[in-house]
Chains A and B, each alone.
Chain A
Amino acid sequence: MRRITDSASSDPSIMFVTGDLGFSVVEEFRDLLPKQFINCGVAEQAMMSMAAGIASTNKRVFAYSISNFATFRCLEQIRNDITFHGHSVCIVSVGAGASYGTLGYSHHGLEDLAIMRVLPGMRIFSPADNYETSSAIDAFLDEPGPTYLRLGRAPATQIHAGVPNISRGALEVRSGSDASILATGSVVSACLSAAESLSDSGVDVQVVSVPRIKPFPIGQILELTQGRSLITVEEHSTTGGFGSALLESLSSQRESRFVSVLGFPPEGLEVHGSQGFLNKAAGIDPSGIVKSVIDHLRAQR
């Protein structure tokens, strides 16, 4: 949010619209830049069409809401008014994955990547930490166009030491030679913990953070992972998201790799609880990832 506010204070053509969400997050922007701020009310469909209309007047617009409200509720407005016309709206989707755990099913954003990926012309960022987020915002401002920015809730664990160059799409955050874990979003930190535990038992895995899901950085991934087998990890359904994007890209490149896809089961979980609890149930907490990597390496042999 700080990054957006800073950019907007030096550029009056940057607008911020919200669907009445962002309490304790967006007030600074509203108070500093009232002419560039609009609370559209609890009306996500109209908000997305309006965002497109504002963008059509040569502006760049951030449109903010909770993951499902910013995608499912207004999918047709995004499809027809934003992506089809190529308007420069960056949908800021907060609470992605299971980060609103105990708030329940209505607030779990576990299918958003799948529906955003399928929209022609939509660029998708799913950053792992504040540095990647900052770089994604710069990418939107430098090269405006329809963009989906998928964010978690609590400040994510810092992965990088500084702002990385997100234009490469995939970034190695730990080296390793036995296999490569590819992860997107805040689960990158769980993957790093899993890699640490694995190294204690003599398994050496690489971890690659993939903050850009579309266009999918398959070239960069193939180069970074050097023919190793791949394990994808995402806080999203295993249908249609990050792992699916990898498999589709491998297929279109006629590239053969042994792949395991970790994430939320497509039919959902039958338990309720916090983000940590749900991620554990889905097997994408550090111990679940360790177990899956070991299974993966066994199956590969």
Chain B
Amino acid sequence: MAQLARASAVRMVASGKASHIGSSLSMIDILSVLYSGVANVSPSSINSPLRDVVIVSKGHAAAGTYAVLGHAGFFPESWFEEFCIDGGRLTGHVTAGTVPGIELSTGSLGHGLAFGSGIAISAQRDGDNRRIFVLMSDGECDEGSVWETALFAAHHKLNNLTAIIDRNGLQSFESTESTLALEPLDAKWEAFGWQVLHVDGHDHRALKEALKSPGNKPNVIVAETIKGKGVSFMEGQVAWHYKSPNDVELGGALSELDSD
């Protein structure tokens, strides 16, 4: 599914003349694993009160999110053509309401973890057995509301809450470390009282293992990824946070993704 989703995301960003393909490609493996049986949610259970909740807090990775949801059957793949077009259902930052599977409209960073912890504490108080997964970007950890929530979730021992940080190392201008250094990132979360796991964010088996039910603490998975993963000329390049591929670049990207 991940490889199909990569190709769809690249096509969407090209046809919609949109941005953020790099951010989409870095998180597609994580999201694909979540929707391959890890999170207890499916197209038929999106309104069930006991479903697991997946929140994409890095809402700019919209093409990647829609691609995974479409291939997982939450809506027809034909909707991909509506990405970033006038009157279309799929916007450039994930928007709930018209798109099945999107739990929260995001695009401004630092909202998803707090919203998810609200669901998590409600479930904890009600004794409901459900898990909340929040996919965040590493640059998002600059936001104060992330750390407000880090305190809160640890204090309330929200072990039904799992944050996954797409640690691709790049943000708007340059690396996270030359912007506002995050390292030692694992130690920061540990110090806040979270259980921290560090994995290769493109290794499906490792992700699946890390996403298994945690202990008695909230859980954060720092997933090492490559921005633009899967398309050699996009990998590790800040420019692909913004650029939309032209016809030649699209062809090149698709041939790489198909040959894998």
Encode contact with A along B66-84: 1 for CB under 8 Å, 0 otherwise: 0000000000000000000
CB neighbours (8 Å) of B103 from chain A are 56
Q: Which A residues are CB-close (under 8 A) to B104?
A: 81, 85
Decide: A53 and B108 in contact? CB cutoff 8 A: no
Question: B148-156, B187-195, B219-227, B230-238: which one contacts chain A?
Answer: B148-156
Bound complex: CA A189 to CA B114 (Å): 40
Instruction: Find chain B residues with CB under 8 A from A55 CB.
Output: 118
Task: A157 to B72: give the CA distance in the assembly, Å.
Answer: 60
Given contacts A80-B105, A84-B105, contact A50 B151 (CB under 8 A): no
A50, A54, A81: which contacts B152 (Cβ < 8 A)?
A: A50
B125 contacts chain A at the CB level, 8 A cutoff = yes
CB-contacts of A15-31 with B (<8 A): 15
Chain A 46-88 near chain B by CB (<8 Å), digits 1 or 0: 1111111111111100000000000000001100110011000
| Total residues of chain B contacting the partner, CB 8 A | 30
Q: In whole angstroms, how far apart are the Cα atoms of A46 and B122 in the complex?
A: 15
B108 contact set on A, CB distance < 8 A: 76, 80
Q: Contact: A54 with B118, CB < 8 Å?
A: yes
A53 in contact with B145 (CB, 8 Å): no
Complexed CA–CA distance, A279 and B145 (Å): 36
| CA of A46 to CA of B114, assembled, Å | 5
Chain A residues with Cβ below 8 Å from B114 are 45-50, 53, 77, 81
Check: A41 CB closer than 8 A to any chain B CB: yes
0/1 string, B95-123, CB within 8 A of A gives 1? 01100000111111011001111111111
> B49 within 8 Å of A by Cβ?
yes
Complex CA–CA separation, A38 to B152 (angstroms): 10
> A41 near B116 (CB under 8 angstroms)?
no
Does A43 sit at the interface, judged by CB under 8 A?
Answer: yes
Contact A77 B111 (CB under 8 A): yes
With A35-B125, A77-B111, A81-B111 given, is the CB distance from A53 to B117 under 8 Å? yes
Q: How far is the CA of A209 from the CA of B165 in the complex (A)?
A: 51
Residue of B at shortest CB range from A61?
B118
- A57: chain B residues within 8 A (beta carbon): 49, 118-119, 122-123, 126
| Contact in complex: A43, B110 (CB < 8 Å) | no
Residues of B within 8 A of A53 (CB): 114-120, 122
Query: In the complex, what residue of chain A is closest to B110 when comparing beta carbons?
Result: A45
Q: A58–B152 contact, CB under 8 A? A: no
Q: How close is B230's CB to chain A, nearest CB, in angstroms?
A: 31
Distance to closest chain B CB from A149 (angstroms): 20
Q: Is B144 an interface residue (CB 8 A)?
A: yes
In the bound complex, do residue B119 and residue A81 qualify as a contact, i.e. CB atoms below 8 Å apart?
Answer: no
Q: In the complex where A45-B110, A49-B114, A77-B111 touch, is A56 in contact with B152 (Cβ < 8 A)? A: no
Partner of A43 from the list B97, B106, B151 (CB cut-off 8 Å) is B151
Contact B118 A50 (CB under 8 A): yes
Expressed in whole angstroms, the minimum distance between the Cβ of B157 and any Cβ of chain A is 14
Chain B residues in 8 Å Cβ range of A54: 118-119, 121-122
B105 neighbours in A (Cβ, 8 Å)? 80, 84-85
Given A41-B151, A77-B114, A81-B115, also A49-B122 (CB < 8 A)? no
CB nearest to A15 among chain B residues: B122
Residue of A nearest to B145 (CB): A45
Q: Contacts of A47 on B, CB cut-off 8 Å? A: 114
A54 CA / B107 CA spacing, docked (Å): 20
> Are B111 and A38 in contact, CB atoms less than 8 angstroms apart?
no
Contact B118 A51 (CB under 8 A): yes
Could you say which residues of chain B place their CB within 8 Å of the CB of A80? 105-108, 111
**In the complex, A85 Cα to B118 Cα: how many Å?**
15
When the two chains form their complex, are residues B149 and A46 in contact, meaning their CB atoms are under 8 A apart? yes
Question: Chain A residue with minimal CB distance to B103?
Answer: A56
C-alpha spacing A137/B30, complex, angstroms: 43
For the complex, give the distance between the alpha carbons of A15 and B152 in Å. Answer: 17
Is A40 at the interface (CB under 8 A from chain B)?
yes
- Known contacts A45-B145, A80-B108, then 12 further A-B pairs from the complex at CB < 8 Å, ordered by chain A residue: A43-B152, A47-B114, A49-B114, A50-B114, A51-B118, A53-B118, A54-B118, A54-B119, A55-B118, A57-B49, A77-B111, A81-B104
13 CB contacts below 8 A, A to B, read A35-B125, A40-B152, A43-B152, A45-B145, A46-B117, A46-B148, A50-B115, A50-B118, A50-B121, A56-B118, A57-B49, A81-B104, A85-B104
Interface set of A (CB-CB < 8 Å, partner B): 15, 35-36, 38, 40-41, 43, 45-59, 76-77, 80-81, 84-85
Q: Closest 10 A-B residue pairs measured CB to CB?
A: A53-B118, A49-B114, A50-B118, A43-B148, A46-B148, A46-B114, A53-B115, A57-B122, A45-B145, A54-B118
Residues of B whose CB lies within 8 Å of any CB of A are 49, 96-97, 103-108, 110-111, 114-123, 125-126, 144-145, 148-149, 151-152, 155
